[in-house]
Structure 1
Amino acid sequence: MAWGQKKRSGRKEPVFSGFAASLSELRINPLDRVTIADDKPPDRRARPRKAAAPNTEGPRRPPGEGGRRAKKRTRARLSRLFYWGAVLALWAVIAVVGLLIYIGAHLPPIQSLEIPKRPPTIQVVAADGSVLATRGEMAGNNVLLKDVPSYLPNAFIAIEDRRFYSHYGVDPIGILRAAVANVLHFGVSQGGSTLTQQLAKNLFLTQERTLERKLQEVELALWLERKHTKAQILELYLNRVYFGSGAYGVEAAAQKYFGKPAKNVTLAEAAMLAGLVKSPSRLAPDRNPEGAEARAKIVLAAMADAHLITAQQAHASAAQPSYAVKPASAGTTNYVADWVGDVLDDLVGQVDQNIVVETTIDPKLQSVAEAALIDELAAKSVKFNVSQGALVAMTPDGAVRAMVGGRNYADSQFNRATMAKRQPGSAFKPFVYLAAIEAGLTPETIRQDAPLDVKGWRPENYSHEYFGAVTLTQALAMSLNTVAVRLGLEVGAAKVVRTAHRLGITSKLETNASIALGTSEVSPLELVGAYAPFANGGYAASPHVVERIRTVDGNKLLYARGKEAPDRVIDPRGVAMMNTMMEQTLISGTARKAEIPGWTAAGKTGTSQDFRDAWFIGYTARLVTGIWLGNDDNTPTRKATGGGLPVEVWTRFMRAAHQGVRPEPIPGTQRGGFLPEVAQFGQPVDVPVPAASPAVERQPQPVRTNVRPEAAGGLDGWLVDRLFGGH
């Protein structure tokens, strides 16, 4: 028993509390391991082995289970990606279809689309009915493919749409090729539009570059391909494409540039015509013959590459081009036609039919004006360093009879008569004197011609001399700057500006002291128009060139100029005094060379600072004519003054214009004290005019001084140099 009890109690083993917790502390640290030195040097390339991380994830997974789970996750991701890709593709298709439906809904019904008419022709005719110019589509009938040489249409196919006969209006391969080329060139170097798309755009759409218009172009191209044969589409294209300089269609372009029908053009000329389509305004051979020729060589190379001509033909045509390009007309009537085109939109809106514009231009006077300006410049432009000029002649009621916008339209289409803004110099002074007259002064009012300082600005006369006490008539006739500035200060610059605007100046004028000497820029047309009230008795005159606009057949009148009575802008007394003073400019003043036998005339010369502009605006009871001479880049002339070359051009033109016409007096210039008929448009009135003072006929003695202008700041800085204003 004792033995059994002893056995049941058993042996008690020692217990280590916290054994599991301290197990990690009993593990051998790799640093505590004993290493045995080896004779071999340590391998520096071998990376030290990392200590095994403690296994905290429990029992290990069976081999290959992790790989299977990774594959399952990958398949799940691919399935989701495929699903959402399919969903997005479906929505993209729905969006594209919806967009096409939207674009199609905004097009006219396909069944109602018809090939529109050609762009309208605008025929500009003179007052006598003779044709001055044609704008819009040039004259020319539609051509048939069978009537033109095969290389003519082939030139367009080679350079614009080489797969024309194999696509259905849209060429995906061409679009892809153009896209790749554009990416490689980092820009738009090629276009993917087919000839059919270009035709659709030219016939039915605008030139704006938007996604909506491009989609409309695609739909219309598909419709054209379904409705017409390839030959019909190509024929329509050749007769409707724009070639620049107002020429639509190959017939008009061949007549315009080569002076021959399209059926007679050579291979080289056909290549040039095809090359124009890319940029007709930039590559037109009458404006850029070098660019047109270079582009034609590219077309010839494309034709050879497409096997439409042989390499020998391409080389021969490129080596010896036969471009009999006719130069653009140098006739100055083109300046008139351009001006007519500018005002048409205001008169009749968009032109959608062939029209005839009847103008006020007198073709005989236009020829005389052209010869007077161009001949004088040809003879003296080098001497005076004057490269350009402009002439405007109008009746006292504003009807333009002649206009020259430059010496050569072929060299420059910029119309200096209507668009150039230049300083009028002393030609602006009549508005200053009129403001003074309306303030109570008279032609016999005395003012001092003496040195003047306006906050550091010291204007000086052209001759660097001062004449002391002078009448306003003498001061205006001799174009004395100091008197004009004194009058401007006396009445106020704002009053001078209001007076000029009332008479017809439309440009912005600065209200400063120098405005009296014409420092604000104006155009020749508006300055001549502002002088017209002096010639017509004091009534507003709106310069105009269009009298009537009608359809070609004459069945419909689209516009006719009204005959409303003009507003009075100068009272009869002011007209009489101003004309009396400005008549002296031609008798004893700066324009003594301006003389028309048997006629009384008046006017004012003008020269801007540094001799940059030379003007003369003169008038009779029949015509108001203004001349401007200068340089487009505003460089100084070689001392060309208003009393010199401009007066000579004016006199030559006005003598021819008045030849054989019964003389009439200018309102207010009858000598003797009373004016029987001052107003041309109103009722005759009797206005007393002070008798001319003997001092007017007698040149005042100059008072010489040593005063010279100096650079100064002040009101406007030194706006006028030592020759400011000139004559």
Structure 2
Amino acid sequence: MAGKQPMRRGSRRSSAPPPPPPRKVPRAAPQGWRLWLRRAGLWVGALALVGMLFLGVAVAVTARSLPGYAALKSSQVGQTIVVRAADGTEIVTLGPSYGHWIPNSQIPQVMKDAMISIEDRRFRSHIGVDPLGLARAVFVSVRDQEGARATSTITQQLARNIFLNNSRSLTRKVREAVLAMALEAKFSKDQILELYLNKVYFGGGAYGIDSASRKFFSHPATQLSLEEAAIIAGLVKAPSRYSPTADAAAAVKRANVVLRAMQANGKISPGEAASAEVSAVKLAPEERQDSVRYFTDWALPQLDILLPDNTEPIEVWTTLDLGMQRAATAAIAANVPGAAQGALVSLDRDGAVLAMVGGTDYVHSNYNRATQAVRQPGSAWKLFVYLAALEAGYTPNDRVVDEKVTIDGWTPRNSGGTYAGEIDVRTAFAYSKNTVAAQLGNEVGFSTVAAMARRFGITTPINTLPSMVLGTSDVRVIDMVRAFAAVSAKGAAIEPYGIKKVTTLDGDSLYRHQASGGQSLVPGYVAAGITDLLQTAVNIGTGKAAQIGRPVAGKTGTTSSNKDGWFLGFSSGITTGVWMGRDDARAVPGLQGGTAPARAFAAYMRYAVARRPVEQFDTELKLPEWQLEPDDEAYYGQPNDYQYVDEQGNLIDPGTTQQIPGEPVGPRDGSDQPPAPGGVLPDVQNPQAAGDEFLNEATGRNAPPVDPRARSTDGDPRARQYAPDRGRPYAPDPRTRQYPPPPRGPPVYPGARPN
């Protein structure tokens, strides 16, 4: 034991072999969705890289192609239009209004802070587009399930105002973003802000803060206070909605939103925000917007047709007479009933619009009732009923019967509820007899009346129910005035126009109105007849209030429950129409065409025609030949004008004793008996060329009785002299072979009592 060395702890070796080193287990390849996710990530990354590269190239190329800063400063948005009256007086200037250019160093800091706070609070840090703002807008849209919200930065707005339009397409948004980043790459933040504040639109035609400051506060933008800056900054979102001159309460509310945004961004202290009194800001007095704007709103859109590609500043010379326009405005204001509106259109003999009033207050309502509103014309529509009747052969002296009548279950009644019995056409029109108008419309055909209205310029839908003769189809004021102007022009078509010529600011002509002879709508005798009726309506009928001391022809119109009142007429070459009523179509107590509208017409026309010579109307009824010839020859003409067949069926050559060539003149038995005078052969025993039954049917002999209620409006109107609705058979007397003379009494209407 002594020779053995003692064993020390830890020195003894283990007899077991050491464990083998651990093996490396190979990692399993990704499978399933993990593989597709990795691949998708790689593709997205690659596409993003390519997109960034493409975007960078696009921005760089765009930045190099952008105009210089001086060029951007001088560029202007929109077209300036100077509108002149007929005498050359400037009546309004439309389009952009630019104030003085305010350099960045002179723009008040409160103006810069207010605009950045409300429109683009990260303006100083983004690259032209705001990714954070875009992400927030997308999140809010998804959360609230609304459409995408506007996220344009100040730079994007500048790019849109200078280079693009206001479309909301995706393509435009992409171009806007590229242009915004190009602007940021080429110009400094201060330059971009200076451009923006001097070019952004603030409403009322004002572009830039200086123009807006002068418009709303009557001083330059260099003097803007905190409250004024807040008002101007608040306008960018919706210039018309937040305009202090249009809606002061809305402007104050929006300005307070701007002040809170400035406080939240640390631009003003809570004390400054609390002490700001936006409602105490003194606004500049607004220029009076009188009724001339109704005219310009109607006339100027026509420039898109007359000069579709013009963008340079222009002067537009119109047909408007400022004196007549003032007289028209005063006439409507002085006569329109309370709570009602009024409209007036006045045309010269060639269609030139001399005056146009679309309402009682343009500032309160710019809705043009003269050209846009459609209302029932009431009895003024009878113009077309009587035009159709006159064209069908009636004359002002013809007799008609004013009595109760029912047509297809409809029974019209007169205004006073009484009936005058047998009267002439002139009296029926002068006193606006509804029953007579209904009978005439039924006789000539309601579709014929509608076609007449279309012929004279009515553009709105027209119904053909029996009640249409009393004006139940909606019409526009300007269309009705156009129709009456055509009557004044002796039946020639009239086209209203408001622009005489257009020139550049240097006087170069771009457009000039060309006068053209109007198409004849009705024969002259029809125009003379209806003028006779219209003049009588003013002289002794429902339009007596429209008398002005010289010849006037016109017609009143009143709808049921006094909802609409009309007067339309003409004198000395000027045609004027007046309408009054409520926009909500409620009744206006006491409103009739012969009261307030007729008085307004007279008040205006006294001024309008004062410098014109008195003109007498041409009411001489120069009837056509078929109405002037002897009654028994009116329809068939003279015997020498045509070939005819005698009672034996032989064809006779007119004005001779000869039959047509190749046929013997004398009797077919070879006798020497001479022919009778006029080429009619004597009664002989020769066989007839046609049988008795055929001849009786052809000539009307032994014709069955004709229903006096039958109507025919498709043929020649001359047939009305002998037509069945006159109660006479359309056939010659079998003994004399002569046609009966036309009746002298009134026509027979459905349900009419015999004379």
**TM-score interval (norm. to shorter):** 0.7 to 0.9
Report whether the alignment pairs 1:271 with 2:236. no
Aligned residue for 1:86?
42
Q: How do 1:690-701 residues align onto structure 2 when only pairs under 5 Å count?
A: none
Aligned mate of 1:337, from 296, 299, 309: 296
Deviates more, 1:162-171 or 1:620-629: 162-171
Tell me, yes or no, if the aligned pair for 2:85 and 2:318 is still in contact at 8 Å: yes
Aligned residue for 2:723?
none
Q: How do 1:366-385 residues align onto structure 2 when only pairs under 5 Å count?
A: 366-377=325-336, 381-382=337-338
Shift of 1:147: 3.6
Shift of 1:608: 1.2
For 1:394 and 1:216, locate their aligned partners in 2 and report how far apart those are by CA, in whole Å: 49
Aligned mate of 2:494, from 541, 546, 552: 541
RMSD: 2.9
Shift of 1:373: 0.7
Q: Per the alignment, do residues 375 and 150 of structure 1 end up closer, same or farther by CA in structure 2, a change over 3 Å counting? A: farther
Q: Per the alignment, do residues 141 and 112 of structure 1 end up closer, same or farther by CA in structure 2, a change over 3 Å counting? A: closer
Q: Secondary structure at the match of 2:343?
A: strand
For 2:133 and 2:277, locate their aligned partners in 1 and report how far apart those are by CA, in whole Å: 27
Shift of 1:239: 2.3
Q: Deviations over 1:91-113 (max 9, x none)?
A: 455467668989999x8983569
Q: How do 1:433-582 residues align onto structure 2 when only pairs under 5 Å count?
A: 433-555=386-508, 557-582=509-534
Tell me, yes or no, if the aligned pair for 1:533 and 1:570 is still in contact at 8 Å: no
Q: Secondary structure at the match of 1:221?
A: helix
| Equivalent residue pairs, number | 601
Shift of 1:359: 0.4
Report whether the alignment pairs 1:637 with 2:583. no
Q: Per the alignment, do residues 531 and 142 of structure 1 end up closer, same or farther by CA in structure 2, a change over 3 Å counting? A: farther
Aligned residue for 1:281?
240
Q: Deviations over 1:183-236 (max 9, x none)?
A: 455436964321111000111112122221111011111121223232222122
RCO greater where, 1 or 2, for CA within 8 Å and sep 6 or more? 1
Q: Which residue type is aligned with residue 627 of structure 1?
A: V
Aligned residue for 1:657?
608
Q: Per the alignment, do residues 554 and 228 of structure 1 end up closer, same or farther by CA in structure 2, a change over 3 Å counting? A: farther
Aligned residue for 1:54?
none
Report whether the alignment pairs 1:602 with 2:561. no
Aligned residue for 1:705?
none
For 2:98 and 2:77, locate their aligned partners in 1 and report how far apart those are by CA, in whole Å: 11
Aligned residue for 1:173?
132
Q: Per the alignment, do residues 495 and 143 of structure 1 end up closer, same or farther by CA in structure 2, a change over 3 Å counting? A: farther
Q: Which residue type is aligned with residue 633 of structure 1?
A: D
Report whether the alignment pairs 1:584 with 2:533. no
Q: Which residue type is aligned with residue 394 of structure 1?
A: L
Aligned residue for 2:677?
none
For 2:402 and 2:320, locate their aligned partners in 1 and report how far apart those are by CA, in whole Å: 43
Q: Secondary structure at the match of 1:401?
A: strand
Tell me, yes or no, if the aligned pair for 1:269 and 1:323 is still in contact at 8 Å: no
Q: Per the alignment, do residues 444 and 102 of structure 1 end up closer, same or farther by CA in structure 2, a change over 3 Å counting? A: farther
For 2:612 and 2:33, locate their aligned partners in 1 and report how far apart those are by CA, in whole Å: 99
For 2:551 and 2:206, locate their aligned partners in 1 and report how far apart those are by CA, in whole Å: 48
Q: Which residue type is aligned with residue 487 of structure 1?
A: L
For 2:433 and 2:100, locate their aligned partners in 1 and report how far apart those are by CA, in whole Å: 63
What is the TM-score normalised by the length of structure 2?
0.75
Q: Deviations over 1:357-393 (max 9, x none)?
A: 110000011111111111223xxx23xxx52010111
Deviates more, 1:228-237 or 1:211-220: 228-237
Aligned mate of 1:627, from 545, 570, 578: 578
Tell me, yes or no, if the aligned pair for 2:571 and 2:609 is still in contact at 8 Å: no
Q: Which residue type is aligned with residue 221 of structure 2?
A: A
Tell me, yes or no, if the aligned pair for 2:493 and 2:520 is still in contact at 8 Å: yes
Q: Per the alignment, do residues 205 and 565 of structure 1 end up closer, same or farther by CA in structure 2, a change over 3 Å counting? A: same
Q: Which residue type is aligned with residue 517 of structure 2?
A: A
Q: Secondary structure at the match of 1:639?
A: coil
Shift of 1:74: 6.1
For 1:95 and 1:543, locate their aligned partners in 2 and report how far apart those are by CA, in whole Å: 58
What is the TM-score normalised by the length of structure 1?
0.77
Q: Which residue type is aligned with residue 246 of structure 1?
A: G
For 1:108 and 1:428, locate their aligned partners in 2 and report how far apart those are by CA, in whole Å: 65
For 1:302 and 1:582, locate their aligned partners in 2 and report how far apart those are by CA, in whole Å: 68
Q: Per the alignment, do residues 140 and 374 of structure 1 end up closer, same or farther by CA in structure 2, a change over 3 Å counting? A: farther
> Structure 1: which 5+ runs fail to align?
1-67, 679-684, 690-727
Report whether the alignment pairs 1:616 with 2:575. no
Q: Deviations over 1:436-488 (max 9, x none)?
A: 11111101111111112122211111111111112111111101111111111
Report whether the alignment pairs 1:646 with 2:604. no
For 1:523 and 1:428, locate their aligned partners in 2 and report how far apart those are by CA, in whole Å: 12
Deviates more, 1:342-351 or 1:484-493: 342-351
Tell me, yes or no, if the aligned pair for 1:505 and 1:527 is still in contact at 8 Å: yes
Percent of aligned positions that are identical:
37
Q: Per the alignment, do residues 610 and 78 of structure 1 end up closer, same or farther by CA in structure 2, a change over 3 Å counting? A: same
For 2:444 and 2:60, locate their aligned partners in 1 and report how far apart those are by CA, in whole Å: 67
For 1:445 and 1:123, locate their aligned partners in 2 and report how far apart those are by CA, in whole Å: 55
Tell me, yes or no, if the aligned pair for 1:535 and 1:621 is still in contact at 8 Å: no
For 1:573 and 1:316, locate their aligned partners in 2 and report how far apart those are by CA, in whole Å: 79
Q: How do 1:216-295 residues align onto structure 2 when only pairs under 5 Å count?
A: 216-295=175-254
Deviates more, 1:79-88 or 1:563-572: 79-88
Tell me, yes or no, if the aligned pair for 2:401 and 2:423 is still in contact at 8 Å: yes
For 1:77 and 1:577, locate their aligned partners in 2 and report how far apart those are by CA, in whole Å: 92
For 2:434 and 2:59, locate their aligned partners in 1 and report how far apart those are by CA, in whole Å: 67
Q: Deviations over 1:153-186 (max 9, x none)?
A: 2211111112222222222233234444444554
Tell me, yes or no, if the aligned pair for 1:120 and 1:354 is still in contact at 8 Å: yes
Report whether the alignment pairs 1:110 with 2:65. yes
Tell me, yes or no, if the aligned pair for 2:85 and 2:320 is still in contact at 8 Å: yes
Aligned residue for 1:426?
379
Q: Which residue type is aligned with residue 449 of structure 1?
A: D
Q: Per the alignment, do residues 620 and 313 of structure 1 end up closer, same or farther by CA in structure 2, a change over 3 Å counting? A: same
Q: Per the alignment, do residues 108 and 395 of structure 1 end up closer, same or farther by CA in structure 2, a change over 3 Å counting? A: farther
Q: Secondary structure at the match of 1:373?
A: helix
